[in-house]
Chain A
Amino acid sequence: MRNESTFGWGPEQIGRLLAVGADAGASEDERPPDRVTEELLRDRLAGPLPLDKTVVDSLPVILGRLCRELLPLAGKPLGEVLLDPDTELSVLETVKDYGKGLPLGRKKGPEHAIAIAIYYAAIASALLYHDRKITEHSWENLEQSFAMLIDKRWLPPELSRHLAKAKVVCERRK
């Protein structure tokens, strides 16, 4: 049924699909919540840096030269962008905004955790690779946030190590 519209569906069918969109049916998921979050986060990190025509179109107005900096990265896995010391600061700021802009879903659900992990991973990368704090959070707040995330069982080890290094930087600066 690829390429088919739901327009011909009746109200009841549309309503049922809306219900699916409203609640993904976590009760059917037999995996432990941490496992679900870990898998979704890994999935997100392995996915390409989100750039599409709309985003690129809006960049010249909003961010100027960032457009040119980001275009070569289109399609590069997000995890790779985050953990690459050569990633430009402006790109990390964009990724941070991406984490901030992810729909949070049900509060404290997996998507919420993923958004927070990406958000703080970008901040950590800016600290570690550019010695820049790209957030208004205080050093104390950042250290606490990193510490809280490091303990999460769903956080992939490479991100956990990354945040642990950033936490050390925060400890020194505060």
Chain B
Amino acid sequence: MTARDRTGAGGRNGAFQKTHWSQIVRARTNDPGRRREVLGDILGRYWRPVYWYLRRKGYNDEDAKDLVQGFFQEIVLGRDLVQHADQRKGRFRTFLLTALDNYARDIHRRQSAGKRSPEGGLARLDAVGAPAISDALQATPEEAFHHAWASKLLDEALADLEQECRSAGKEVHWAVFQARLLLPIREGAEPPSLSALCAEHGIADEKTASNMVVTVKRRFQTAFRRRIRETVSSDQEIDAEIRDLMEILGRGGAAS
């Protein structure tokens, strides 16, 4: 597994709601420094879904990395896609995938035209770290995209949660949450008993341990919703987006 990409984008506690729509609009500036900064942020966060989509389309590692950069710089930011998109209704994920589909269809023509890599010297993706091999490799390009997208959001929510727990002095809460919930999901194993967790972490009783898990689960839910909110246009869309991702991942799980 790779190190989780950490970013402060969105705010640990979500004080100011910022969506990726607004972020992209802000990138449409004549200030090259600002533009590069925003592009770097978006690229850092969403290169993986795009990369895996392209890999599943048959591109090798190096080509896919080049194309990812070209996609964000030339297509997402360089054209009028965002201005033409209905941001009030759109989900960033859908927008990105639609644009990516079009981009993939256009790639051969663009390849024959010559240069693909973006101008301006963005950090190369291989400097970010090679992506992990996963079940996404077996999926369709679209499934790989959604898988990587959901994974990224979950990673961000978990990073937020861990930071929140640690800064609040709730390291034991975090440890119990990991042991009782995250590890069993990852390993496909039975969760440890509450009594075992009490003994391991010096927790007074099982009820306290149970409450710790529930408290952190609630915080995880909040952190996850906050991250989802960055990718949709309104609070009302959050539940629909989560349901959508669960359905897509459910289909992928059934197929694999």
Contact = CB atoms under 8 A, between A and B. Distances in A.
Contact of B238 (A14, A40, A103): A103
Given A1-B178, A103-B222, A24 B217 contact: yes
Contact of B220 (A8, A21, A30, A51): A21
B132 to A, nearest CB: 5
A101 B249 contact: no
B253 to A, nearest CB: 4
A144 interface: no
A2 B165 CA distance: 13
Given A13-B186, A51-B15, A97-B15, A20 B217 contact: yes
B224 A21 contact: yes
B220 A20 contact: yes
A18 B245 contact: yes
Interface in B105-147: 131-136, 139, 143, 147
A54 B135 contact: no
Interface in A5-60: 5-26, 28-31, 36, 39-40, 43, 46-48, 50-55, 58
Contacts of B226: 103
Contacts of B135: 9-11
B1 interface: yes
Contacts of A6: 151, 154-155, 158, 186
B13 A98 contact: yes
A50 B11 CA distance: 8
B207 A30 contact: yes
Interface stretch (B2-10, B59-67, B77-85, B93-101): B2-10
A135 B154 CA distance: 35
B12 interface: yes
A98 B14 CA distance: 7
Given A6-B158, A103-B14, A52 B8 contact: yes
B102 interface: no
B196 interface: no
B185 A22 contact: no
Contact of A40 (B148, B154, B162, B218): B218
A94 interface: yes
Nearest to A98: B15
Interface residues of B, number: 72
Contact of B11 (A13, A39, A48, A55): A55
Interface in A75-102: 94, 97-98, 101-102
B151 A5 contact: yes
- Residue of B167, B218, B243 with highest tally of chain A CB at under 10 A: B218
A43 B168 contact: yes
A103 B229 contact: yes
Contacts of B183: 1
B210 A110 contact: no
Nearest to B225: A103
B4 A22 contact: no
B199 interface: no
Interface in B187-244: 188, 207, 210-211, 213-215, 217-218, 220-222, 224-226, 229, 235, 238-239, 242-243
25 contacts: A1-B182, A5-B3, A5-B4, A5-B155, A8-B132, A9-B134, A9-B186, A12-B256, A13-B188, A15-B253, A20-B181, A22-B221, A22-B224, A30-B211, A40-B218, A47-B167, A47-B168, A52-B11, A52-B12, A54-B18, A55-B16, A94-B15, A98-B16, A101-B14, A110-B218
Given A7-B155, A15-B253, A50-B15, 10 more contacts: A11-B143, A13-B185, A16-B185, A17-B185, A18-B154, A23-B221, A40-B215, A46-B168, A47-B167, A103-B238
